[in-house]
Structure 1
Amino acid sequence: MKNKIYFALVGILMVLNLYSQTEHLKWYSLKEAIELNKKQPRKFIIDMYTDWCGWCKKMEAETFQHPAIANYIQNNFYPVKFNAETHDTIEFKGKKYTNSGTVQRSPHSLAVELMNNKMSYPTIVYLDEELNLISAVPGYMNAADIEPILIFFSRNIYKIYPFENFKDDFNKTFKDSTFKEHIQWKTFADGLKSNKKKIIFLTHQGCIDCNIMLKTSLQHDTIANYLNRHFSCIQFNILTNDTIDFNGIKYFFNPSQYPFHQLAVALTNGQINLPQMVFLNEQNQLLSLVPGFFPTKNFEMLIHFFNEEAFKNTSWENYVKQFKSTIP
């Protein structure tokens, strides 16, 4: 069982300056990164630079070598240095790319393709695990600028949510000192006594996605009111030392057995992938385990789907198509 546990907390380095480490970022060539990706798929972050670009040098020295940023990139991406004006012949996805320019500062054809022919430096290119272009982000960025971008791409949030919205949520979570809790969170002991359905939100202080959901998606007035009215809400730190009684069985945290609380392992069948929500019916029986980051409107659909018991007669995909949000 222990070998089936998947540790998907976002790094444990997390929020900028939360954990300061001294590891320096190790860069790869594109060829080296592609070979590593065959064994352990990850996204790619490619620093498109030139020898004459001063802002590229500043970003390398200050942004990419910031301890938290360096560690996050090293644990979530294959970092690649790419001289956009190199004259090397490079093979990429079965095609050979060259630099046939004869004038000074002529760009390499692969750089032109990945940067969408917008040749400004520095530009940071993001590729998915299949080497498909996700985005090319131009301009100098300091550590605080690039942090939400790294999370946005590494955690696949770009697939469901515009970056500007995510950035707003990120800033509300980590930079807004006026946060007020609207959810009526229950302990396990009190929450399980309720005759309502239950939602157990698995979290950990180092999980960025979790923190963002807890302080934005769940705190919207419409969402919070609906949750408080229809669900017994339990926030579950998967590293808590508390002994928890669940359906007549006592669970505790034994790090020599599992890296997480025993109940977290039991509820998820060992497949922990935060953020993660466990939905229980009124009798505390499992309805579903739902992993992933949910923006506000997506989360609204999710809680309606389970409270209305739509899952009994329709698929999630069909429900999403016909759902009418009450959030402007």
Structure 2
Amino acid sequence: MNKIMNGKLVIVLILCLAYAVNLEAQKTKIKFQKLTWEEAMKKAEKEKKFIFVDAYRPSCESCDKAITEVFTVDSIATLYNKHFVSIRINMHTEAGKAFAPKLQMLMYPAYIFFSADGEQLGSSNSHNFVQDHGQAMYQAHLAITQGNNRLNNSRSILFEEISWEAVLAKSKKENKPIFIDAYTTWCRPCIQMDRNVFTLDNVADFYNENFINVKLNAEKGEGIDIRKKFEIKAYPTYLYLDTNGELVSRTSGYTEAKEFIDYGKNALKAFTNKNAEGKGIQFQQGTWKDILKKSRVENKLIFFDGYTTWCGPCKTMAKDVFTNDTIADFFNENFINVKFDMEKGEGIDLKKHYKVAAYPTYIYIDGNGNEIHRTVGSTSVEQFAKYGEDALSEDRTLSYLKKQYESGNREAALVTAYLSALKVAYNRKEVSNVAVEFLDGLKGKQLLTEGNWLIIKDYLSDAESKSFAYLVNNRKKFYQLYDKKEVDDKIYNTYLNTVHKYVTYNDDKTVNFDEDGFNKYLKSVNKSGVDRKERIIAYSTVNNLASRREWARYAEEIDKGLANGNIEKSPLILYNYALTIKRVEESPEILSKAAHWAKLGGDVEPNKDYVARYYNLQADLLVKAGKTDEAAAARSTFKPEELEKANKMNPMKALIIKKK
């Protein structure tokens, strides 16, 4: 009997084992083939596939985890098996040493995607794949897209293989600007541009038609001279030069095709403008001392352009406004024009002396170095012309208006003009001080006049001021005279603009919190009975906690506000809240909450072209929280090209709160 039972038990065990083996065999996983690199290329060409290479080293924990945890995921394995010939290469073997140049300076272990002819399409590593399984899908889709682009494009930028002297001669003869790709052999982004961008038909056609194209190794031959002349310190750097070899514009780094073409278009426009005789503001060269002397000798004001190389609005002004004929004629005739980079040379000291805090800053200065007028930011041609005329006037300069105000002139027209000039000069603190001082000095009923209402509406930003209290307590009187929504919006925004004053920072970055002042502020909001008072309190509390860097309570208040409706389910607000947590927090619990906000933002975003940004942020937060499977699921809701499109379409200005 025992023998029979033992026999049956053996049979059952064998069947169970066979079933388990069968289940394992049925489990989908990436099929790594035992092929050499050369054999993989032939097979990929024959099957019209791409190549995926796991370039590994022995005793790599993350590599082993990827094999068992990532490459066995059904969706990942199915994608790779369909589109790639997959092979593994041990980099510590002779085959690995032979393959090493194909890494193109990548550190192994690495995952590399190739076209059938051996060109890199993308890369990642086992750490990224294990940390976020979605990356395996994302990188594969990118490689497939890149590979298909290569198959659909047959042309590339044609670079001249002639001397620099011959390049200049050809540029002058054809009246074409010069495009220089300054690269190094060790620069990976340089290689990627060669491979992914220069080989696209639309890029090649544009550059071949409009430029004399030159490729120079910045560490050899004539490339060294170009590197020194233009102070090239990053690679790749792209120089756009005129027919005399002088700089028209420059940029650097890996750049996608559309943006790269746009750089070329902007350079062409600048080249055309530069060639036009007398066109554009003529900026003088020399030291600041020389400029001041020239100003005194010619009895002209100095127009001072304080810029930085990374400032987008600075470039827009230089390209679209300074080149305007009317602007150029007016400024060249009436001013000594000069521009200084606020981060280089004399610009550093001038920035401190004139207290430049934003870019671009335009200052009108007399020959003794006294500031006469100032404006900040990009603007239209018409408005910029008016600012120049204001600087030459006797009664519209900032210095004149300030002198009049400080001497006791409180005429409404002068105060309004002074406030407007301060606002244009981006002096927000002084705008607030002057507005409060003027309005608080009026009797209650005077605040109801149209002129003073305009000052309240445009310039008052302190909820603790006497004039604001009058507005709140007498808002029904204002309703009778002015649009109710305008009045309510002014009250709402003034309360929110005041909350920042209760938190300040010491030099050592520690926080000072005026708790009594903030609580008094909250009580005044609650007592006011104004529309949306609960929402004002909710936003003020959240913003105050962010300023104090109390992120756990910050997250709690956001969740509370979303639940009771006091915080709007606005896509941009939710995105900014979530992005802030990504930048400052490590707690998995708080990161998970922020991931929920990001998803909610994507769910309510009305423009479906943007939603990939939200779900990508959700995935990033989940990865940081250690929830890789949930991150992969979030990442699977959009395609890489959808994220790329969303990032390029009117990128959202996210709230930035830095760790201090």
TM-score of the aligned structures, taking structure 1 as reference length = 0.37
Which structure is higher in RCO with an 8 Å CA cutoff and minimum separation 6? 1
Q: Which has the larger Rg? A: 2
Greater helix share, structure number: 2
TM-score of the aligned structures, taking structure 2 as reference length = 0.20
